[in-house]
Structure 1
Amino acid sequence: MFKTETVSIEWGGKTLTLETGRIARQANGAVLATYGETVVLCAVTAAKSVKDGQDFFPLTVHYQEKFSAAGRIPGGFFKRERGATEKETLVSRLIDRPIRPLFPEGFYNEINVIAQVMSYDGETEPDILAMVAASAALTISGVPFMGPIGAARVGFKDGEYQLNPSMAEVAEGRLDLVVAATDEAVMMVESEAKELTEEEMLGAVMFAHAESRKVIGAIIDLAEKAAKDPWEIDLTDNTADIKKKLKDLVGADVAAAYKLTDKSARSNALNAARDKAKAAFADETPQTQMVAIKTMKKVEADIVRGAILKDGQRIDGRTTTQIRPIEAICGFLPRTHGSALFTRGETQAICTTTLGTKDAEQMIDGLDGLSYSNFMLHYNFPPYSVGEVGRFGAPGRREVGHGKLAWRALHPVLPSKDEFPYTIRILSDITESNGSSSMATVCGGCLSMMDAGVPIARPVSGIAMGLILEGKDFAVLSDILGDEDHLGDMDFKVAGTAEGITTMQMDIKIAGITEEIMRKALEQAKEGRQHILGEMAKALGEARTELSAHAPRIETLQIDKSKIRDVIGTGGKVIREIVATTGAKVDIDDEGLIKVSSSDLSQIEAAINWIKGIVEEAEVGKIYNGKVVNIVDFGAFVNFMGGKDGLVHVSEMRNERVEKPTDVVSEGQEVKVKVLEIDPRGKVRLSMRVVDQETGEELPDTRPPREPREGGDRGPRGDRGGRDRDGDRGGRRRPGGDRGGDRDRGPRRERNDRDGGNGGGEGDGGLPGFITGE
C-alpha cells in the first residue's frame, strides 16, 4: 500500500503544498504541487540503461496546460490539447535550463520530466509551481540529481520587491523576474523590466534567491519522508590517460588553431586536429573511441580557458571587455515598412518591421481565455548561418526562446496603443552566427522599428556575457563568441536602454554563480551596451517621423457609445458598406474608438467623413460638400456629411428663376450647400444659391424680396379642423349624414369642388401647387 506524504509552508502570503504517494505511483518520482488554487502534477521517469554508443544526456521536459484546469474548452476546430503552444515551449525551457547542469557528467540515461497544469485559479501563474514540482519529483526519484532547486517570481513596484505577484500586479509594476537557484547559488534568470538599474536588478535576483531557499527546505523535508533509494551508477572518470595522450599529440595544434581570428580558418584547423586525434585511436574499441572524442572537447576547453585566465588572451585576440566591430545599415530593403542589417563580428541579422491594423493582431487561446497581442517578434536560424547542412522548417524550441528574449527586450519601450495604434511584427533572419544572435536581433529589431517610424521611448541594445571560472579565479567576457559560449561556464544576456535594463537572461553550466560574479557581469555589460548604442546611433539616432510609403495609415476617431449601433448598422450593413465603398478598413471597439486604416489617405478621409456624417448633427447655417443623389420635379436631394440627405428646392438653386432642376444639376454632381433649416422631424432644407460653388464661400443673398400678394395678407386662417363643408364652424360634416352612425357615405366630391377647399387661387385660403383638379 502506497503512503501519501505531504509538506506545506506559508510562502508569499499563500500556502505551498507538496504531496507524493497518491498519484502517478509508477513513475520514478511524482509530486502534486498546490499554491493557492493552482495545482501542477509533475512526473519523472528515467531509463534504467543507456543505449549502446550514446554519448549525450537525453533530458526532455514537457510542460502542458490543460484547458479544463481553468474550466475552459479549447477554441478552434480541434477540441483537445494539441502541439505545444509558445507559452508551453517557453515554460518547458524554463524548467530545463536550471536542472540540466545538476546531473553528473557522464550520466546518459534518458529522463522525461512531464509537468501538467491540473487546476488554475486565474491569479497564481503555474510556471513557478511547475519548476518547484519538477525539482521535488527529481529529488525524490532516486536518479543522480544534485538538487534540489527552488524558484520564485519577483515584481517591483514603488521601490518594493513583490514575491510571486499576480499577472495583474506584474503589469502594474516595473519587473517580471523568474529566478531558479540551489541553496548555494543562482542557476537561471529570466526577466522583463521597465528600465531598472543594475542595482535594482541585482537586488531582485538576491531577493528571489533568499525566497527560493524556503522552497528548497520544503523539498528536502519531503525527500526525507518519501525519497527513493539513490541509483547506484559508476561515473568514475577514467579519462586521465586519454586526456594526457591527446594533449601531447594535438595540444599544440589546438592552441595554434584558437589563435586564428577568422572563424572558418579556425574551424578548419580544429577539424584537422580532431582528425589527427581520431586516427590515433583508430585501433581502439568503439567505446574507447567515443570517450576519446568527448575527451578531445575537454582538451580544447582547458587550452582556451587557461589562456583567458592566465593572460586574458581570447580566441580572436580581444581583451575581456572589448566588443567586436559593428556595422548597422537602416532602410536596407526598399519595400518593407522598416528594415536594418546589423552585423557584429561574424554575427549578422536582417531585421524587418511590418506595420498592420488591428485585424493583424495575434490571437492567443490560453488558460486565461482569448487574448490579443499587437507586438510579435519571430526569430529564424537557418543552417547556412553557421555553414552547415541541416533541417530547415518550423521553428524549434531554441528559436522560440531566442525570439521571446528579444521580444522582452523591446516590449518595454513600445508606444501605447493610443499613441501608435498599429500591430507590429519584427522578423529576424540570422544570416551569420558566431555568438549571441539573439542580442543581434535586439539591436537590429530596434533599428528596424525606428526605420519604420515606430515612436519607441529610447533605443535598445543587447550584449551577451560569458564566464570562465576555475576555483576562485574567474574572468567575465563581453560579447562572447560561439566557442566561448560552448567552452565557458555562463551565458548571460543583458539588454536595455541608456536609462536601464529591459531584459536579463542567465544560464549556468556549473552549480551556480555568486553575487560577486553577477555584479561584475552587470557592470561590464552596461559598458558594452553603451558602446553598442553609440554604434547604432551612427546608422539611425531616433525613430523616423514619417511612416514608409508602403505602410498603412491609421486615423482614430472617438464617438459617443450611443452612436456605435448607427455606425455598425443592422447586421453590420452600414460598416460593410463604408468599407466596400471607400476601400478603407474600419475597426470599432466597445468604447466607441474607431480606427480607420488604408495606405491611401483619400480612402481614410472618405471613410471618416462618412462616419462623421452618421454620428454628427448638421448645423443650421453651416456649409457642406455634398453630392446630388436624386432629382425630382421640385428640386434635388443632396447627400452631405457622408450619411445625411437634404432637399435643395428648385427655388434655392440659383438667384434667378429655374424652370427645371436638371438645368442646373445632374445626378452624381458634387455641390456645395448651406443648411437653411432642420424641421422637428429631422428633414433638412438646403441652399446652393448662397454658396460659391467654386470656392465654397458664403454669398450674400441678392435675390429681391418677394412682392406682397394681391389682396394683402391672408390673415389668420383660423382653426381648419373646425370647419364644416359649408364653411360654418361646427363639427365637420360629410355627405351621407352624421359620421357617428352607420350610413351610405355616397360618392365623395373632388377636393377642388369644396367650398373653401384647398384647390383655389392665392388669397382664397388654399395651398397652391400641391393638389390639382380636373
Structure 2
Amino acid sequence: MFDTKKVEIQWGGKTLTLETGRVARQADGAVLATLGETVVLCAVTAAKSVKEGQDFFPLTVHYQEKFSAAGRIPGGFFKRERGATERETLVSRLIDRPIRPLFPEGFYNEINAICQVLSYDGENEPDILAMVAASAALTISGVPFMGPIGAARVGYKDGEYQLNPTDAEVLEGDLDLVVAATHDAVMMVESEAKELSEEVMLGAVMFAHKASQQIIDAIIDLAEQSAKDPWELAPVEDKSAKMAKLKKAIGKDLEAAYKLTDKQARQTAVNAARTKAREAFADLKDSDPAEYLGTLKLVKKLEADIVRGAILKTGRRIDGRDTKTVRPIAAEVHFLPRAHGSALFTRGETQTIATTTLGTRDAEQMIDGLNGLSYQHFMLHYNFPPYSVGEVGRFGAPGRREVGHGKLAWRALHPVLPTKEEFPYTIRVTSDITESNGSSSMATVCGGSLSLMDAGVPIKRPVSGIAMGLILEGKDFAVLSDILGDEDHLGDMDFKVAGTSEGITSLQMDIKIAGITEEIMKVALAQAKDGRAHILAEMNKALSDTRTELSAHAPRIETFTIDKSKIREVIGTGGKVIREIVATTGAKVDIDDEGVIKVSSSDGAQIEAAIKWIKGLVEEAEVGKIYDGKVVNLVDFGAFVNFMGGKDGLVHVSEIKNERVEKVSDVLSEGQAVKVKVLEIDPRGKVRLSMRVVDQETGAELEDTRPARAPREGGDRGPRGDRGDRGPRREGGREGGDREGGRGPRRDRGDRGPRRERSEGGNGGGNDDGPAPDFAPAFLTGDRD
C-alpha cells in the first residue's frame, strides 16, 4: 500500500532515519525524521500559482510540539495545543532563516513548511531534527530549492567539542551552538557561550559545518529515490536595459541621497528620487503597466548597487564612516527614579530604555513544555514600537521578530548572571526601543547590562554587543562594524556578536546569499572584538561595576535554612502558621522541601520580624538566655508568656518582681510585651521563666538581690518515729456516711487488718484547737516566705 523510501545513517553515535511515502502523502513533500525515539514530521506544500501583483516571497514555517509526544496532557482550561509558545516561535525562526535565502530570485509562490514533534524521548532535541526534516521535505518536493542544508548542535566541555549534546550536557558545558549549512558554506549560526574566545567559537562553527555534511549526503540519497519532478521556472528576464534607463533617470539623485549622513534627510531624498522615477516612466503606466511596474521594482536594486559599490570602491559608508568605526555612544544609568535599575543607551540613531525589575520566587515564569513544568528566573522582553522608526503601524503583542531579538539578548546576558543560590531574585529586563537605525538587539544587550548593574545584580562582567555587516561581490568583500538599517537591508549578512572583556557570550549570524566562508567569519569575529571593546569602554564611563546596594524600592531577600523536620511547624496545619506570619509581618515567606526559607520585603523591619518569628518556632529555648515575650494569659499564680514565636512558659507570681505581688493583673495585662529569662526546662518541656532578673527597658540581666530563703525553725526534723495512738476518729467518719455532705456508706472493702498506731498528738487531730505541731506544713502554720 505504501511506497516508502528510507535512508539511515549513523550520526554522532546514534541512528538517524529519514523516511517518506508513508505519512502525509498529499503534501508536495513530507519527511518523517527519527533520532533515537524522537520523531518529527515535516510537510511542505506550495501554491501552484502566484497572486496577481505579488512581488514578495511568502514563506511560512510553523514548528509545533505535540504534548502527546512526551506522554503529557496540556495544562490550562482547554487542554489542547493553542497559540505558538515562545520556544515554538524561536524554532520556527531557526528553520526559516537558513532556508529562505536558498529560493531563487523572482520565485513568489506561497510555501508552507509545517513541522510537528510526534515523539520526544527527553534526550534527542527535536529542533535540530525539525531543521533536517524541513530541508529534506523541500528537497524532495520539486519546488526550486537550492539546498539541501544540514544542521547540527555543538557543545564544548573540557576543551572538546560535542556533537548534539543533551540538555544536561549543555548545562554542564560552556557552549550551546546551532549551525545550519550547505555543502559549501555556513548559512546560519545561533549560540550561547560562557565567555569563549573567537578561536573556540570559530572552531565550533566549522565542527558543526563538517558534521552537517553527513546530513546533506543522506538527504541527497533520499531525494535520488523519491524526489518529485522539479518545477519549471520562467526564464529570467534580462533587466539590463531597464536598469540603464532607471540609472540615467535617478542614478545621480540616489548617489547624492546616500551621501547624506542624517537618516531622516536621507530617507526624504531617497523618496524624492523614487517619486521622480514614477514621473519619468508615467507614460508606460497606461500603455504597458507590466513594464511600468517592472521598472519601478528595480529602484531597490539600483539603491543596493550604488551603496555596495561605494563601500567596496572607497571604503566609505552611507553616514561617512569607514568600515570599522562605531557610531557615537551615550550611556547613562538610573534614568528612571522608581525602577529598580535603569539605563538609557544610545548608539548613533539607535536607542533603548532598559529597565531591570527584581522580584521574589513567586514572580518566576512557569513554562509548560515537553519536559514538563519548569520555572525561569530570568526574563528579557524586547519591544519595538513603530514610532522608533518614524512610522505608523501595528502596536500590541510582540511578533516573531521581537521574540527572536529578545531571546538573542537573553542569551548574551544569561551567562554572566549569578546563580539563584548566589542571588535569590527573579530578574526581568525590559528593552523599549525608542529609536532604531541598525542593531537594536545589540543596544538591548548594552542597555540591559547597564540596567542590571544599576539594580545591584552581581553579574560577572559587563556585556557589550555589536552587529557586523557584509558586502560581497565575487571575491571582493568588506566587513562593516556597527551597521545601519540600510546597510542591513542592502547588505549580505547580519552578524551579531556579544560578550565581555574575557570572551563571547552569544553569536548569531544570518545571511542573504548562499553562505559565507571561514575566512570571512574570521575577519568578522576579529573586527567585532575590537568594536565590542570600544563600546564597553564607553559603557564603563556610565557605570563600570555593579552597585553594592539594591534600590530602595527593590525587595530584600534573606535566606536561611532550618531542619527539614521543623518545616511543618513553620507551615502549620493547612498553612495556618505561615499565613499568620505573612499577614502579621507583611513580609513574603517561601520555604522549599529542603528547609531553605526565603523571606522578602522592601522593608527590612518586616524581614527581621518574620525571621525572628520563624526562628522562634524552630529553635530550642536555652536555660539562662533572655528573650522577648508577650503575655498571653493571666492566672492567680502567675502569667503565661509566649516567647520565641511559638513557645509558652510560666512566670510564677514570685518571679514577676522582687517585691511581693498580691494580684498578677495589677502588674501585667494580656498582650503586654515583656522580657524574660529562662530559669528551667523540665523533662516534659515545661518552661519556667523570670521577669524580675531582667531589665524590662534594656533587656540586660540584673543581679538577683532577693535574699536567700531562711531555713525553718527547728532545723532538721529527723526521723518521724512511732506516732502512737491518734485517739478516736471524728464524728461523721467515713464509715458513718451521715455527716453533712457525706458520701454515703462505703462499699465493703474487706478486712484490711489492724491500722498502724499513731503517737498521741499526731497530725490526725485536724480539728484540735491547740497549736500545730512543729512538723506541720507551712499552709497550716502561716509561716510562709
Give the TM-score, by structure 1 length: 0.93
1:736 pairs with one of 743, 747, 768: 747
2:643 pairs with one of 632, 640, 657: 640
- Are the aligned partners of 1:243 and 1:299 in contact in 2 as well (CA < 8 Å)? yes
- Are the aligned partners of 1:53 and 1:290 in contact in 2 as well (CA < 8 Å)? no
Listed as ranges, the matches of 1:126-165 within 5 Å are 126-165=126-165
Residue 276 of structure 1: aligned partner: 276
SS where residue 692 of structure 2 aligns?
Answer: coil
Return the letter of the residue paired with 2:748. Answer: G
Residue 220 of structure 2: aligned partner: 220
CA distance in 1 between counterparts of 2:372 and 2:539 reads 40
Select between 188-197 and 686-695 the one with higher mean Cα deviation: 686-695
Select between 336-345 and 654-663 the one with higher mean Cα deviation: 654-663
Residue 68 of structure 1: aligned partner: 68
Q: 1:272 to 1:77 in 2, by over 3 A?
A: same
Q: 1:683 to 1:355 in 2, by over 3 A?
A: same
Q: 1:539 to 1:765 in 2, by over 3 A?
A: farther
Q: 1:121 to 1:712 in 2, by over 3 A?
A: same
CA distance in 2 between counterparts of 1:587 and 1:424 reads 17
Measure how far apart 1:294 and its partner are.
Answer: 2.3
Residue 307 of structure 1: aligned partner: 310
Return the letter of the residue paired with 1:464. Answer: A
CA distance in 2 between counterparts of 1:227 and 1:532 reads 50
Residue 573 of structure 2: aligned partner: 570
Measure how far apart 1:624 and its partner are.
Answer: 1.1
1:554 pairs with one of 552, 557, 565: 557
CA distance in 1 between counterparts of 2:460 and 2:181 reads 34
Measure how far apart 1:293 and its partner are.
Answer: 2.8
2:682 pairs with one of 676, 679, 683: 679
CA distance in 1 between counterparts of 2:375 and 2:773 reads 70
Q: 1:686 to 1:250 in 2, by over 3 A?
A: same
Residue 371 of structure 1: aligned partner: 374
Identity of paired residues, percent?
Answer: 80
Q: 1:271 to 1:714 in 2, by over 3 A?
A: farther
Measure how far apart 1:292 and its partner are.
Answer: 2.2
Return the letter of the residue paired with 2:12. Answer: G
CA distance in 1 between counterparts of 2:123 and 2:62 reads 22
Measure how far apart 1:711 and its partner are.
Answer: 4.4
SS where residue 171 of structure 1 aligns?
Answer: helix
Question: Are 2:510 and 1:499 equivalent residues in the alignment?
Answer: no
- Are the aligned partners of 1:106 and 1:235 in contact in 2 as well (CA < 8 Å)? no
Q: 1:376 to 1:685 in 2, by over 3 A?
A: same
- Are the aligned partners of 1:463 and 1:494 in contact in 2 as well (CA < 8 Å)? yes
Q: 1:513 to 1:765 in 2, by over 3 A?
A: farther
CA RMSD of aligned residues (A): 2.1
Residue 85 of structure 1: aligned partner: 85
1:741-761 per-position Cα deviation (integer Å, ceiling 9, x unaligned): 9xxxxxxxxxx99989xxx99
Question: Are 2:58 and 1:47 equivalent residues in the alignment?
Answer: no
Listed as ranges, the matches of 1:336-485 within 5 Å are 336-485=339-488
1:208-254 per-position Cα deviation (integer Å, ceiling 9, x unaligned): 00000010000000000000000001141332111111111111110
1:329-387 per-position Cα deviation (integer Å, ceiling 9, x unaligned): 10000111110000000000001000000000000000000000000000000000000
Q: 1:754 to 1:330 in 2, by over 3 A?
A: farther
Q: 1:367 to 1:203 in 2, by over 3 A?
A: same
SS where residue 539 of structure 1 aligns?
Answer: coil
1:259-313 per-position Cα deviation (integer Å, ceiling 9, x unaligned): 1000000000000001111222223233333322321111000000001001101
CA distance in 1 between counterparts of 2:78 and 2:629 reads 52
Structure 2 spans left out of the alignment, 5+ residues: 722-728, 730-744, 753-762, 781-785
1:599 pairs with one of 597, 602, 613: 602
Measure how far apart 1:647 and its partner are.
Answer: 1.2
Measure how far apart 1:641 and its partner are.
Answer: 1.3
CA distance in 2 between counterparts of 1:178 and 1:565 reads 47
CA distance in 1 between counterparts of 2:503 and 2:474 reads 32
Return the letter of the residue paired with 1:183. Answer: H
Residue 539 of structure 1: aligned partner: 542
Measure how far apart 1:584 and its partner are.
Answer: 0.7
Residue 724 of structure 2: aligned partner: none
Q: 1:761 to 1:101 in 2, by over 3 A?
A: farther
CA distance in 2 between counterparts of 1:410 and 1:174 reads 14
1:142-190 per-position Cα deviation (integer Å, ceiling 9, x unaligned): 0000000000000000000000000010000000000000000000000
CA distance in 2 between counterparts of 1:762 and 1:218 reads 114
- Are the aligned partners of 1:29 and 1:137 in contact in 2 as well (CA < 8 Å)? yes
Return the letter of the residue paired with 2:319. Answer: D
- Are the aligned partners of 1:151 and 1:180 in contact in 2 as well (CA < 8 Å)? yes
Q: 1:753 to 1:527 in 2, by over 3 A?
A: farther
Residue 7 of structure 1: aligned partner: 7
Question: Are 2:712 and 1:709 equivalent residues in the alignment?
Answer: yes
Residue 100 of structure 1: aligned partner: 100
CA distance in 1 between counterparts of 2:634 and 2:719 reads 35
SS where residue 399 of structure 1 aligns?
Answer: helix
- Are the aligned partners of 1:42 and 1:133 in contact in 2 as well (CA < 8 Å)? yes
CA distance in 1 between counterparts of 2:394 and 2:570 reads 51
Give the TM-score, by structure 2 length: 0.92
Question: Are 2:635 and 1:616 equivalent residues in the alignment?
Answer: no
- Are the aligned partners of 1:53 and 1:287 in contact in 2 as well (CA < 8 Å)? no
Rg larger in 1 or in 2? 2
- Are the aligned partners of 1:761 and 1:768 in contact in 2 as well (CA < 8 Å)? no
CA distance in 1 between counterparts of 2:414 and 2:716 reads 78
1:724-746 per-position Cα deviation (integer Å, ceiling 9, x unaligned): xx9xxxxxxx94233999xxxxx
CA distance in 1 between counterparts of 2:464 and 2:683 reads 64
- Are the aligned partners of 1:555 and 1:604 in contact in 2 as well (CA < 8 Å)? yes
CA distance in 1 between counterparts of 2:555 and 2:772 reads 64
Structure 1 spans left out of the alignment, 5+ residues: 719-725, 727-733, 742-751, 770-774
Listed as ranges, the matches of 1:194-209 within 5 Å are 194-209=194-209
Return the letter of the residue paired with 1:389. Answer: V
1:570-604 per-position Cα deviation (integer Å, ceiling 9, x unaligned): 11111111111111100011111000011111111
- Are the aligned partners of 1:8 and 1:15 in contact in 2 as well (CA < 8 Å)? yes
Residue 316 of structure 1: aligned partner: 319
SS where residue 155 of structure 1 aligns?
Answer: strand
1:657-677 per-position Cα deviation (integer Å, ceiling 9, x unaligned): 111223332222222111111
Q: 1:582 to 1:413 in 2, by over 3 A?
A: same
Return the letter of the residue paired with 1:483. Answer: D
CA distance in 2 between counterparts of 1:316 and 1:412 reads 34
Measure how far apart 1:635 and its partner are.
Answer: 1.3
Return the letter of the residue paired with 1:387. Answer: G
Measure how far apart 1:716 and its partner are.
Answer: 9.1
